[in-house]
Amino acid sequence: MCGIVGYVGARNATQVIIHGLRRLEYRGYDSAGVAVMSGSETEVVRCRGKLAALENLLKEKSPTGSLGIGHTRWATHGRPSDENAHPHRIGAISVVHNGIIENHAVLRERLRATGRTFSSQTDTEVIAHLIDEAVAAGATSLADAVRKALRQVEGSYAIAVVSNRHPDEIVAAKNASPLVVGLGDGENFLASDAPAILEYTREMIFLEEGDVVSLGRKSVTFTDMDGNRIERKPRTITWTASQAEKGGYPHFMLKEIHEQPQAVSDTLRSRLLLDTSDVTLDGQNLGAIDGRVIILACGTSYHAGLVGKFLVENIARIPCEVDLASEFRYREPIVSGKDLVVAISQSGETLDTLAALKEAIARGGRTLAICNVVDSAIARTSGSVLYTHAGPEIGVASTKCFTAQLAALTLLAVHLGRRNGALADKAAAELVGELVHIPHKMSETLRATGSLRELARKYMHARDFLFLGRGTNYPIALEGALKLKEISYIHAEGYAAGEMKHGPIALIDDGLPVVVIATQGKGYDKVLSNLAEVRAREGHVIAVATKGDQTIASHCQDVLWVEDAPSLLQPLLTVLPLQLLAYSMAVARGTDVDQPRNLAKSVTVE
Ligand code: BG6
């Protein structure tokens, strides 16, 4: 998805914008550009390719103004090219945009019929024409022109606009795509994501659906789409700038893998009530759930949801269904007011999950969002929210937000189980007691696993991988396979170990590495027999096993040790060596770990 940065103040706008865009590179992009106001002239510099290409261009002609907007593009309409790069300039108007304008073709035809011409295939150029048209038609201000233009637009957008005729103002607006304003002293900032401007300010305002904001050096004015003034409260973002930086690790992903013990303990912090062996959800009381718990999510968050099913059913004895959000929203689902619908999303902006949540609300479901981004769209749309406290996640392949989601789901299950009586005092004390130790066990497991460089070199040329797990570790087998696919581009499949003999066993030979999660607990003996079936067919077994397990080593070629924990909490540990394996394989194969091809951090378009 595209990245947007804006600045108005006294500094060199080009430098501030490029700095911010560098922080948004993880959002995925294929071209970049800036529009900077020098005097009453806008200089637009843009090109296809990485930010470095744009920086080279800017070396030749770097605009010196102190007001401007910038963009990194992720192509949706129109292939990656210089003419499709943003900003798009029409007359005095320059626009950058993140999202998709669904009715752009109709609008383009209407504009063409008035004699206007187009130089790109993008939907964004339509917005620039509409604003220019509104100015020509006598709009009272730039914000008024933007509102008039956007009232004709259908779809998702975050836009930022500058105009030669309004050299001291940036106007921005949002619908479904994320946008945040950063407040400064004599200067103000705009970005698609907080890390881009964190270095300059902590006072941030997250735009709401339909918000239009006008930024000046000394003023920030919010209106709705009809021009009515609206109030928006700033939030103090506690993330440090360095949190957004790599902290000395070669990749954001590795930094974030090692941030998991902290992310989980921050997510558990002030929610575990040790004295009563209970959990508080930040004072929110979800009340009794007489129906089902229905979990909705995409990608890695969906795998967290699958573990959530075990947690909710085992701990709270409430029937729990897990649905792919992109399926749920079109499936005429059966939801009632007795059901609690839980939407899990790291970014809080994934459109399929947002739409599925709205579908559940429309059908009367009570809702809870588990999100990592404060004030994100899914969090704002949901009846209640349980935030994970993992900090900004920049690596596209989700890691620390996954384990933070597992921690949040465990908190939810304990909260529900204590309220409906399914979780008795003794069991609750044991579980809450175990949870307290999980962050430390995660650190120990990460330390014991190390870099896995040798193991990666051994298997880096494998064409396929198979991941097997049982019970709570079945979703972890799915997640291990997804991680390997996402960042090392090796085909991998996760499978319930008990299902192996009903199909994938046909794939096994001495060229297929098989990762088996064989930790002690429920189903351990069954997993050992699955291991034997693989070995019998010359398959190479990499086992994830419980530290101190004397027998496992004789059943496999390689062992990845994890600390011991009850089955329900094991996923918080067993996923760690699988994340590190995928990471090391990707490094060995030289892929773009933090920005894998064809992937983006969250999908906010159809
Ligand atoms: C995809 C990301 O775009 O969205 C995955 O590549 C992620 O890593 C999925 O799991 C869901 O994102 P979110 O933000 O809704 O959890």
Residues across the chain = 606
For residue 2, the one-letter residue type is C
Structure confidence at residue 61 (pLDDT): 75
Confidence of residue 605 (pLDDT cuts 50, 70, 90): low
Whose CA is closest to atom 15 on ligand 1?
345
346 lines ligand 1 (CB under 6 A): yes
Is the pLDDT at 488 greater than 90? The verdict is yes
Instruction: For residue 485, indicate whether it is catalytic.
Output: no
Question: Which residue type does 301 have?
Answer: S
State in Å: Cα 345 to ligand 1 middle: 7
d(CA 495, CA 473): 10
Confidence of residue 277 (pLDDT cuts 50, 70, 90): very high
pLDDT, residue 392, reads 83
Q: Is the model's pLDDT at 76 over the cut of 80?
A: no
| Ligand 1 in reach of 300 Cβ (< 6 A) | yes
CB 231 within 8 A of CB 220: no
pLDDT computed for residue 158 by the predictor: 95
pLDDT for 154:
92
600 alpha carbon – ligand 1 mean position (Å): 8
Of the chain, the end-to-end C-alpha distance in Å amounts to: 12
Query: Cα–Cα distance between 176 and 97 in angstroms, integer?
Result: 12
- pLDDT of 28 reads 65
* Any atom of ligand 1 within 6 Å of the Cβ of 398: yes
599 Cα: distance to centroid of ligand 1 (angstroms): 9
43-60 tens-digit pLDDT: 999 998 888 899 989 988
Ligand 1 touching residue 68 (CB < 6 A): no
pLDDT above 90 covers what percent of the chain? 81
Which residues, at least 6 apart from 468, have a Cβ–Cβ distance to it below 8 Å?
477, 494, 495, 496, 497, 500, 514, 515, 516, 517, 527, 530
At residue 479 the predicted structure's pLDDT band, cuts being 50, 70 and 90, is very high
Ligand 1 neighbourhood includes 599 CB (under 6 angstroms) = yes
Judge whether 601 counts as a catalytic residue: yes
pLDDT at 26 over 70: no
Q: Where are the beta strands (DSSP E) in 299-406?
A: 320-324, 340-345, 366-371, 384-387
Q: Is 399 in the pocket of ligand 1 (CB under 6 A)?
A: no
Looking at residue 230, what is its pLDDT? Answer: 95
pLDDT in tens, 202-254: 999 999 999 999 999 999 999 999 999 999 999 888 777 676 778 889 999 99
* Ligand 1, atom 4, residue with closest C-alpha: 602
Q: What pLDDT was estimated at residue 60?
A: 81
Q: What pLDDT, in 10s, does the model give residues 254-275?
A: 999 999 999 999 999 889 999 9
- Confidence band of 539 (pLDDT split at 50, 70, 90): very high
Q: Which of 348, 68, 374 is nearest to 202 (CA)?
A: 374
Nearest 5 degrees, angle CA 473-CA 474-CA 478? Answer: 110
Q: Is the CB of 298 under 6 A from ligand 1?
A: yes
pLDDT greater than 90 at residue 537: yes
298 CA distance to ligand 1 middle (Å): 6
Q: How far apart (Å, rounded) are the C-alpha atoms in residues 241 and 180?
A: 16
Confidence (pTM)? 0.80
Instruction: Report the separation in Å between the CA atom of 301 and the middle of ligand 1, taken as the mean of its atom positions.
Output: 7
pLDDT score of 122 more than 80: yes
- pLDDT of 287 above 90: no
Mean pLDDT of 106-118: 95
590-599 residue pLDDT tens: 998 987 777 7
Angle between helices 13-23 and 51-60 (to 10 degrees): 170
Within 8 A by CB and 6+ apart from 389, the residues are 263, 266, 267, 269, 372, 404
Q: State the closest ligand 1 atom to the C-alpha of 602, by its place in the atom list counted from 1.
A: 3
